[in-house]
Structure 1
Amino acid sequence: MPSSPIRKLVPFADAAKKRGVKVYHLNIGQPDIPTPQVALDAIKNLSETVIEYTHSAGNESYRKGLAEYYQNLGIDISSSDMIITTGGSEAITIAFGACLNPGEEVIIPEPFYANYNSFAIQTGVEVKPITSSISNDFGLPPIAEFEKLITPKTKGIVICNPNNPTGYLYSEKELETLATIVKKYDLYLFADEVYREFCYDGHSHHSCLSLKGIEQNVVLFDSVSKRYSMCGARVGALISRNRDVITACLKFAQARLCPPALGQIASEAALKTSKEYFDGVYNEYIERRNFMVKALNEMEGVYCPTPKGAFYTVVKLPIDDSDKFAQWLLESFEHKGQTVMVAPATGFYATKGLGKNEVRIAYVLKKEDLKSAMECLAEALKVYPGKTL
């Protein structure tokens, strides 16, 4: 198992804090946005006297509520088309286990969410990366590049939209391009859409569940972690109109008994979150994003694309090695008693050697903290021994 590029530097961050250094965490997608009060109240006012097992597919009332959420987005699914999971992570491992045999392959545009590598290793699946580039802000590679990678062992494509770690939002045209490949070779399209609510600048989110002609091929992953700032609830969902897929996935779900009972209670209540909450969150992230992108691009030798979705970006820095740089920030650097923690982009690529001058930054901190973090990063780049300017 590979170490998480997001979490592997935690011991160095802990040591820095023990030395009295304030660490700004730009390495992990843990929003500081308050969880909706309606979800917190559901836990505080719990009437149950026994925390029982739930149905292996999740509470029916929650599944019906989640199906209604999708129906309001114009996506026709029912409660029987989904399995509630222990976070989006379990949805992915269950889907890989149910749909793919050991040694079979999935194609994933890189850089991609680092744990896809771990989920593939757990289930014996081979990842075949197709590289997108910061030179075009990580747009979808050409269809011809996908076809070059397809072999008899290729069984699926994994897409994250909006994308973690790049913040790229795939257009409807790009997704339709993917659909032609999926249909031509009868592949699964595993669609990670946990950042659906975070699309900016008037751009709309187009769900893979809305693609025509591949209704039986799509397996979608969802989560409450980011949408409601409920990362610790550990509640996700696996959704597919393919009955055979759902039947197979339920066997994996039964093996782990059930998803978190308390998390489901909070998640079901969160479905009642007001539009005003989301409007406030949207405006907050837009302000943070705009400030951070401007600050980064004003630093000498730095290039930061403008994310169209999620709350991450992959940034190109004038450094020799992002792993060394991230550790150096925590071990050897401080500015006004402060430093920053970033995630080396090397861990978001499957192709060795890529990402050595890139880091992922999450703009999940309030603007005042982001301002201090950007000041720290700017000063660090001036004195880092491995700078390449």
Structure 2
Amino acid sequence: MPEISKKGHNMPQSPIRKLVPYAEEANKKGKIVYYLNIGQPDIKTPTIALDAVKVHSLDILAYSRSEGSEEYRMKIAKYYKKNHIDITHNDIIVTTGGSEALLFAFGSIMDEDDELIIPEPFYANYNGFSTASGIKVVPVISKIDNNFALPPIEEFEKLITPNTKAILICNPGNPTGYLYSKEEIKKLASIVKKHDLFLIADEVYREFVYDGIEHYSILQEPGLEEHAIVIDSVSKRYSMCGARIGYLVSKNKEVIQTALKFAQARLSPPTLAQIASEAALDTPQSYFDDVINEYAKRRNVLIRELEKIDGVKVAKPNGAFYCIAELPVKNSDDFAKWLLESFDYNNNTVMVAPAAGFYSTPGVGQNQIRIAYVLNEESLRAAVKILAEALKVYKD
């Protein structure tokens, strides 16, 4: 019988999606499931984006340019300038989601067995993309006790080897919601310049920051032009996850030229989704003001309710729409399955994402879960009540 590749065997399952069959079975049994596991916003997509697809005048649904249409990239550049980031459309490659932008970045700057340092916990698919690219993730652990702040620079220094090619951060963070400060970005800039590394920042959640704090992009940091690579996407910003449009941004011309070769190999990003995404850039600021205000309220409700549960520790996020909660259980994977298979509270249950899948260090995060606060306040209160009742009866 033909054999599956080692890479295929090593490809990790998604901690976000692997429990879907259990949730489907719970639904078949008539249970109502509150989905706290996945970052699918319930916020409506801007009408201006949906209308652009409805009224397009295309006669042929043709390929676009491999790097994305020039008109769209020019509008993206204007968006960045509005956010105090000075780039041109030639510094941008439009991709099929932020996922493809990450794969293009990895392929452009790293070879087989090269190393990538990432503060963990981190977006689970970084493990998958690294496996697919044949590169090694080297984790530096951030901790819930200090709200998942950037680990000391000395911890990064210890991990740098001749095979180290880049440091990757998510800012604001998925799954922690941590927002790196300007001072922390400057520390990272210093170390990548010192060791001649790339600094990749996944800034997909840049619009979602709270408490009056401002997001500071690595593209704003002086002297980082040859080192900085930004990953971005329309998925969360405009509640357009299904559009699958992202982009890779860098002032390093060689990075862009190399990434373009990968873009040419997959031909082009989707045309209709680019039309919707280009139109979305005209979304009024009031849309974002309302959305950010809504997420801030949801965050406050979630954190307040979680802190009422005995034995639960939770980190307060300053960005994105996720948090990590530490539970009084030994194995959150087993607990998450049990919630869907064996537990209900008034015929309701919850689906969470076990957090061990957001680490690459074995054994870390076993008693943690990631919660996405993408439900309305009433639903969040109900979901946390179910979680509290479940913890009263659950036995490891």
Fold shared per TM-score above 0.5? yes
Q: What's the secondary structure of 2:248's corresponding residue? A: strand
Q: Distance in 1 between matches of 2:43 and 2:61?
A: 28
Deviations 1:316-365 (A, max 9, x none): 11011010011111001111111000000000000000011100000001
* Alpha-carbon contact 2:210-2:319 (below 8 Å) kept: yes
1:379 has 2:389 as partner: yes
1:360 aligns with 2:370: yes
Offset of residue 162 of structure 1 = 0.3
**Structure 2 residue 63 is matched with structure 1 residue 63:** no
Structure 2: 5+ residue runs without aligned partners? 1-10
Would you say 1:215 and 2:211 are equivalent positions? no
Residue among 207, 219, 224 paired with 1:197: 207
AA aligned to 2:89 is: S
Out of 168, 174, 177, the position equivalent to 2:184 is: 174
Q: What SS does structure 2 have at the residue aligned with 1:339? A: strand
User: How far did 1:297 drift?
Assistant: 0.5
Cα separation, 2, equivalents of 1:189 and 1:107: 10
Alignment of 1:121-270 (within 5 A): 121-270=131-280
Q: Which amino acid aligns with 1:378?
A: A
- Which residue matches 2:284? 274
> Deviations along 1:117-145, whole A, 9 cap, x unmatched?
00011111110000000010100000100
Aligned partners of 1:305, 1:104: CA distance in 2, in Å? 32
Aligned counterpart in structure 2 of residue 293 of structure 1, from 279, 286, 303:
303
Letter in 1 for 2:288: F
Aligned equivalents of 1:247, 1:282: Cα separation in 2: 36
Displacement of 1:299: 0.4
Aligned partner of 2:101: which letter? Answer: A
Question: Which residue number in structure 1 is paired with residue 43 of structure 2?
Answer: 33
Matched position secondary structure for 1:109 = strand
SS at match of 2:350: strand
TM-score of the superposed pair, with normalisation by structure 1: 0.99
Please state whether the residue corresponding to 2:184 is helix, strand or coil: helix
Shift of 1:257: 0.5
Which digits, 9 at most, give the CA deviation of each residue in 1:174-196, with x for residues without a partner? 11000110000000001100000
Tell me how far 1:260 sits from its aligned partner. 1.1
Pairing partner for 1:90 from 87, 100, 110:
100
Structure 1 segments of 4 or more deviating over 4 A?
A: none
* Secondary structure in structure 2 of the residue aligned to 1:361: strand
Amino acid at match of 1:214: L
AA aligned to 1:110 is E
Cα distance in 1, alignment partners of residues 52 and 168 from structure 2: 35
Amino acid at match of 1:97: G
Among 126, 140, 143, the alignment partner of 1:116 is 126
**Residue in structure 1 matching 2:110, options 94, 100, 103:** 100
Task: Say yes or no: does 1:316 pair with 2:326.
Answer: yes
Aligned-residue offset at 1:374? 1.0
Shift of residue 70, structure 1, vs aligned partner: 0.3
Aligned residue pairs, count:
386
- 2:22 is matched with 12
Looking at structure 2, the residues matched to 73 and 287 of structure 1 have their Cα atoms a distance apart, in angstroms, of 24
